[in-house]
Each structure stands twice: as C-alpha cells, then as structure tokens.
C-alpha cells in the first residue's frame, strides 16, 4: 500500500470513528416527543411514565409551554417523588369550545379521564391513595401532536 493509499485509509477510519462518537453522544441528548399520530391516551400514558421516572424533561416534551411552566412552579410536584400505580386511562372525551387558561384557542381539545393510586411524600395539594384525575390535551390541527395543557378534576 502506498503512502497516499495509507493516508486515505487512515482518513476513512478517523471519519468513521467520528461518526460513531457523534452517534454515541446523541444518546444523552433530548429524546423527541411522541409523533403527531400518537393517541391522547398514549400521550397521557407517556406522561405518567415520566412522572414515575421523575423525568421532568420528558414531561415538558409532552406538554404545552403553558402547562410545562405551570408545573415548574408546583411546590409538591409529582415529578419529585410520586409513584402512580393501578393506572387506568379512559377514552378521550371531546371538549368543544375549550379555552386554555392562558386564553389561547386550539382547534381540538379532549379530556382524558385517569384513575390511579398515588403515593408521594408531600401531600400539600394531592392526598395519597386512590385518585380520580384528568388531563386536557390540545392540538392546533389534525397534523399536530397532542400536548397536555391542563390537569385536574374539574
């Protein structure tokens, strides 16, 4: 092998190594939120999985900016130490005329009723035990992903 051929081989090996290193580093980067075709129930299931994993970033990716910012301010956030078990997620119910607490209008909104058993250390706003809850999911159009915009029982 000549000097030029050896340089080309070394260059190709180094380039391939660089690709492997960059690809390996991406494992620690943000994961994409669920795709647009994901059902509201699956979005809620992923959000509950994020709570159980104490993964605030995953929760943010499944939320509207308004809801994510609201959740950041909660004193006894479920992302701190909560464990939700015996989770039952019901079929979404349309919310015609839904208006976001920040006044923003969405083309589509659904309420996804959920029940679970809650355990967490700080019961300031939610007591431990069987809980009936719900999440309001919104999207700007049929081609957009569902995002959680509100939560509660009322």
Which is nearest to 52 in space by CA: 86, 82, 31?
82
In which domain, by residue range, is 13 found?
Answer: 1-30
Of 22-26, 58-62, 88-92, where does mean pLDDT reach its minimum? 22-26
Predicted local confidence at residue 1, as pLDDT: 54
Please say whether the beta carbons of 76 and 120 come within 8 A. Answer: yes
Considering the domain architecture, whether residues 11 and 75 belong to the same structural domain is answered as no
At which residue do the structure tokens 């380039």 appear?
A: 15
Q: What is the mean pLDDT of residues 86-104?
A: 94
> Which of helix, strand or coil describes residue 107?
coil
Predicted local confidence at residue 148, as pLDDT: 97
Considering the domain architecture, whether residues 3 and 56 belong to the same structural domain is answered as no
Considering the domain architecture, whether residues 21 and 54 belong to the same structural domain is answered as no
Predicted local confidence at residue 123, as pLDDT: 86
pTM, to two decimals = 0.78
* pLDDT of 6 above 60: no
Q: What is the mean pLDDT of residues 82-88?
A: 97
Of 13-27, 43-57, 61-75, where does mean pLDDT reach its minimum? 13-27
**What separation in angstroms does the CA of 61 have from each of 11, 108, 125, 127?**
39, 19, 24, 26
71 vs 65: CA distance, rounded Å: 10
Considering the domain architecture, whether residues 95 and 125 belong to the same structural domain is answered as yes
34 vs 46: CA distance, rounded Å: 9
Considering the domain architecture, whether residues 52 and 67 belong to the same structural domain is answered as yes
Determine how many CB atoms are found less than 10 A away from the CB of residue 95.
16
């Amino acid at each position: 092998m000549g000097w030029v051929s050896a340089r080309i081989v070394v260059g190709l090996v180094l380039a391939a190594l660089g690709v492997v290193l960059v690809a390996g580093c991406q494992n620690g980067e943000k994961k994409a939120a669920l795709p647009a075709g994901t059902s509201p129930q699956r979005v809620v299931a992923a959000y509950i999985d994020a709570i159980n994993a104490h993964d605030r970033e995953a929760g943010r990716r499944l939320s509207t900016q308004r809801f994510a910012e609201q959740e950041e301010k909660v004193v006894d956030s479920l992302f701190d130490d909560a464990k939700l078990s015996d989770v039952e997620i019901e079929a979404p119910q349309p919310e015609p005329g839904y208006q976001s607490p920040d006044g923003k209008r969405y083309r589509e909104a659904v309420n996804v009723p959920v029940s679970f058993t809650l355990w967490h250390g700080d019961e300031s706003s939610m007591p431990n035990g069987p809980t009936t809850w719900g999440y309001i999911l919104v999207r700007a159009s049929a081609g957009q992903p569902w995002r959680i915009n509100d939560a509660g029982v009322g």
